[in-house]
Structure 1
Amino acid sequence: MSRILLIEDHDRLAQLMHQGLVNAGIAVDVVDRIDAAWAAVQQISYQALVLDRGLPDGDGLLLLKKLRNAGLSVPCLVLTARDALHDRVEGLEAGADDYLPKPFAMDEMVARVRALLRRPVEFHSIDPIHGDLRLHTESGVLFSGNESITLAPAELHIMQLLLYKHDEVVRRSALEAAAWGLSEAVTPNALDVALHRLRRKLRAIGSRQRIANVRGMGYALRQADDAK
């Protein structure tokens, strides 16, 4: 299932959009501020963004420019009550892929999001590699040398984040967000179960990489000799 991030501060509109997208088979995380959206995209590889311009902490285009300057090309549909030509041009020049003025029909919004999801995405599109591990994100297969194993969806997102952040310790909350999104209810031990399965799969393919528990901080990939 595709997962997108909706950045909209109008509660009722956000609820309606969320329901319309979920009914179309699209998983949605919802935030209402630029800073929350920036934090979310650091943790989760979204397939598209739906971004309102009028947010409590600034113009949504500030977030879009920040994303593009960071090299993140995740497709983005900009929503706005501003319908002047120069406003649309400003949004497109900031890096928007599409522009939808308010008010709009939910069916049109869903259709535009689906169109974005059909576009090739460069955001985190390169298969991550670290040590003897290579993850083919499209198929969900993890390789170590000539050995390979298929990962479940949550395991795939956890391993993807650990590989991208291999030089850093990743917080537990970030791994949970990557695996299950920001809005899905997660049981307290869901991450522990997923990590247990991942560790077993790493051993099964003979990898020297281990998922180490960095006490009080989070988790990180470590060489077997260094893992604690």
Structure 2
Amino acid sequence: MPRLARASALVIESDADYRLVIAACVESAGVQVQAVAAVSEGLRRLQAGNFELVIWGVPLRDPRRGHIVAQFHEEAEVPLILIDESYEEARESFEAGADQVLPKPFVPGALVGAVKAALRGPGPESLIPLASRIEVGEVVFDSGARTITHGQHSLTLAKREWELLSFLLARPNQWFPTEELVKQAWAGTHNSVEQLRTYVARMRRKLEPLELPFEIASKQGRGYCLVYEAIGTGKP
């Protein structure tokens, strides 16, 4: 039986760190990805290639959003997902023709689910599985087993550790005040600032042997940040 061709998605995101994370999430859903930084290059790729999906990371309060969404639809009648820093302007995006709008920062699982919904065929089941395994460069994240693998090294995180890391991975190079991080990463729980510090210290010890392209940084007065080095750029 011949193998089904993989769906292809075009990702447009000016921020290199976000572009890497978005592409990894989309690829984890079994979709081939071409990722570019500029809208102009995205439109050129859309004209030249065959894509089943477009994902655009909208810059903060970009006044061109409606015009650009219309351009995307002129070039190809495919689903369009926006990841929008100005989420309060989602109505304008929907009116212009966006199929789905996610807030930025986004939750990786929500993006994978949005991709699944956008590429769902006419039948009751999607050809795109909701994957729990994401590869970023040589690093493999398996949310089902809560494991991280880099080369020959692997580790398992506790549930709260995994929730914290997942939250920070979706928001690379962003600082979060300590109390705010507790509320957002562990919403609906009763964890404390002291517990956060304990978890972070334990995670640092676990992650260090893997020599990963990111680290959990902390700074008095600013809180915590997952400092991510974009693979292949050498730039933090």
The TM-score normalised by the length of structure 1 is 0.47
| TM-score (normalizing by structure 2) | 0.46
